[in-house]
Amino acid sequence: MFTIDTGSRERSYPNVSDTNKTMPNKDRRDAALNNLQRSIKSRDRKAKVAPLGVIFATLAVLVVFVGGIWYATTYTPDADDTDTTAQDAPEMENAALPSGPLQPYGDTISCEYTTSGDASKEVEPPANGEVATSGTVRIELATNKGSIPLELDRGTSPCTVNSFEHLADSKYFNDTICHRQVKSEDMGILQCGDPTGTGTGGPGYSFADEFPSNGVEADQAQNPLTYPRGTLAMANSGPNTNGSQFFLVINDTTLPPSYNVFGTITEDGLKTLDKIQEKDPNGEKPAEEIKIEKATVES
């Protein structure tokens, strides 16, 4: 094999571009003719091949286009093609408490307290008649576990607030125990207000249901609602049997709209209740005695 020595002016042969320098005239003419013929034949071949390339390219485009139309109009997804990551719709959460009674209260409302059984602790029922439907009342429950301040709202359940304030003023709740504690996934409450500590006692009178039962339609009367953490509500033994027993909602609790909501527990009160709830109850009985030493109306 010949190489080029970059250090010399002389070249090594054969070099294609230099072959004509040593040929006779006739040979040069024959070589030139042969080169011309080869060039013409090459151009003829290219001219023939080019149209075929265009035709083949056009056919390829048509095949893809027609195939796409056929696929789009005939494809039916199999069951296995469905999205396996789709999840079932989440279950509906319990409804929140309604915003207020279906029929708004006037400036006052008439309350009636009906004699019902024997009082577990001597107390007179509140006077029947008109009570205010606006304003708040603050009551502190001083317990052996700490203070539980409450804020009662006359605008939600005015007859309930009137009764509770009356019982606190009458010292009915003093030296009574909270007999029931529930700690479960959908309920967290502490129930108090029975001087007997058995869950069967009461003040010897009863009164009607108020909010939220008056805030839902009749066909929704048993639909569960969420009583949110910090709610203050009355316990009962059926429709219109409210008396003195009440419960404090420590964690969101699911119940039908059958329990009069009449106020809230302050943040300080919830801190006390959280400490109580740290200990698991024995069934539904508090692990340790929880006593209301004194209930004081502050305003």
The model's pLDDT over 215-247, given as tens digits with 9 standing for 90+, comes to 999 999 999 999 999 999 999 999 999 999 999
Sign of the four-CA dihedral 220, 222, 226, 232? positive
The CA distance from 263 to 157, in Å, is: 8
Lowest-pLDDT choice from 22-31, 118-127, 248-257, 278-287: 22-31
Instruction: Tell me the pLDDT tens digit for each residue of 143-200.
Output: 999 999 999 999 999 999 999 999 999 999 999 999 999 999 999 999 999 999 999 9
pLDDT at 206 over 90: yes
Average confidence (pLDDT) over 263-282 = 97
User: What residue ranges define each of the domains in the chain, with the CATH number in brackets?
Assistant: 106-298 (2.40.100.10)
At 151 the three-state DSSP class reads: strand
Q: Which token pair is 149?
A: 């301040």
Across-strand partners of 261? 233
The model carries a pTM of 0.70
Q: Give the span between the Cα atoms of 175 and 295, in whole angstroms.
A: 9
DSSP H or E run through 39: helix 25-74
Q: Checking DSSP bridges between strand 95-96 and strand 225-227, what pairing results, if any?
A: parallel
How far is it, in rounded angstroms, from Cα 124 to Cα 134?
24
CA distance 13 to 34: 22
Contact in structure between 287 and 280 (CB atoms under 8 Å): yes
Q: Are 233 and 249 in contact (CB under 8 A)?
A: yes
Tell me the β-bridge partners of 171: none
Identify the band that residue 284 occupies on the pLDDT scale cut at 50, 70 and 90.
Answer: very high
SS (H, E, C) 55-101: HHHHHHHHHHHHHHHHHHHHCCCCHHHCCCCCCCCCCCCCEECCCCC
Contact present, 261 and 248 (Cβ < 8 Å) = no
Structure tokens that stand for 112 in this block: 């009636």
Query: Could you tell me the pLDDT band of residue 94, with boundaries at 50, 70 and 90?
Result: confident
- 130 contacts 110 by C-beta, under 8 angstroms: yes
pLDDT tens-digit readout, 104-152: 999 999 999 999 999 999 999 999 999 999 999 999 999 999 999 999 9
Residue 151 phi, psi (nearest 5): -125, 110
| pLDDT tens-place string over residues 54-73 | 444 444 544 444 455 444 44
Does the pLDDT value for residue 210 go beyond 70? yes
- The whole-angstrom separation of Cα 260 and Cα 258 is 7
**Contact (CB, 8 A) for 194 and 200:** yes
- How many whole angstroms separate alpha carbon 249 and alpha carbon 264? 9
